[in-house]
Amino acid sequence: MPPTVIVRPLPAVATLKRRHRGLLYSLAAVVLIPLFITALYLGLVARDQYASTVGFTVRQEDGTSGATSLLGGLSQFVGTSGGSRDSDILYEFIQSQEIVSEISKRIDLVGLYSQNWPWDPVFALSPDATIEDLLDYWKRMVRISYDQSTGLMEVRVLAFSPEDAQKVASEVVRESQKMINDLNTTAREDTMRYALEDLDTSLTRLKGAREAMTQFRTRTQMVDPSSDLAGRMGVLNNLQQQLAQALIDRDLLLDQKGGPGDDPRLQQASRRIDVIRQRIVTERQSFTSATGEPSALPENYPSLISEYERLNVDQQFAEETYRAALAAVDVSRANAARQSRYLAAYVRPTLPETSEFPRSWDILGLMALFLTLAWAIAAMVFYSIRDRR
């Protein structure tokens, strides 16, 4: 008996199940259709954008003039801030509402960027945009690259025509230079004002010190107590020498007479000695006390010398301060005569020939990536929840 061969039936033709059709429909709705619409918009509606690039940095003059150098380097105390800090200010200024308002006075930015409205609502600006809307749009169209370590700044301006992009970039450079000039003017005015205020203060101090010295000399009738004391010490030394000589003369007379007697020369010598001794006592008292002759000073010499030295130190300090203030004023005037800060452009505003934006392939690629990820995650979550029921 021949063997029996069992033939299995052929598998049925594979067909899309409801689950598979749901995935395809969701893929088309979430990924493919948005990508197709975006591609049509970028290819047919969105207008080409041109980028004009300009690069500059803020430089500060390091050298000093000959007159300034002779003043002992005082310019470092009346100088301005460094170029790096100025670049930080300029970086914020280019993104501010002020520069947008100033450029709008010369260029109709709203009209320039709303040419394709309302056909291109994504990349064009509304004609009814407020200054706040214009500022937000400005930050989209003007992109800044700033290296704080070197102070180099590169600005890229986007517009719908090469000429408009270059024109706006030139206005950015113009307003930036104006900002630097304003910083220069403000710094010079502040420096000059502070220097003049210091000069007035030092002059008032010098006048007060000299007036106090004049009052002291008027009260004491002495130009310099130290010199007056030296003169009085000379008088005292002379009196002591005369006393010593008078004592010697009297001793010689006593030796000649053999003892005291009625010799008028001895009496005269004794009276001379007494007078000299009394004068020495009076001179010594005039140094340290208020007693003595009617012409004696109301203060003693130590207090007078101490007061004079204090007044002299105050006057010398006031004179040095006044000279330093005068030098600072000269330095400020020398710095005011030149521009210490200036904008150095290392890349002039370029005139583009090829549109670089919008970058359609980059936009479509990123959009496809994120939409696909979102669709895949949503599908996995949906079917995971459904399978658990």
The domain locations on the chain are 18-46+358-383, 221-323
pLDDT at 59: 84
pLDDT at 97: 92
Residue 342, strand partner residues: 59
Write the DSSP symbol of residue 337. Answer: T
Map 93-125 to HEC letters.
HHCCHHHHHHHHHHCCHHHHHCCCCCCCCCCCC
In whole angstroms, how far apart are CA 353 and each of 8, 49, 167, 348?
A: 71, 11, 14, 15
pLDDT at 319: 92
Q: How do the pLDDT tens digits run along the chain, 389 residues long?
A: 556 666 566 555 455 556 667 788 888 888 889 889 888 888 888 888 999 999 999 887 654 444 444 444 444 444 444 556 888 889 999 999 999 999 999 999 998 998 888 888 888 888 988 999 999 999 999 999 998 888 899 999 999 999 999 999 999 999 999 998 888 888 888 888 888 999 999 999 999 999 998 998 888 877 777 776 677 778 778 888 888 888 888 888 777 765 555 677 778 888 888 888 888 888 777 665 433 444 444 456 678 888 888 998 999 999 999 999 999 888 888 777 666 778 888 999 999 988 888 888 888 899 899 999 998 998 888 878 777 76
Closest CA to 164 of 119, 208, 125: 125
Burial of 202 (0-12, 13-18, 19+ CB in 10 A): buried
Cα gap 348→53, rounded to integer Å: 8
Q: 233 — alpha (psi -120 to 50), left (phi > 0) or beta? A: alpha
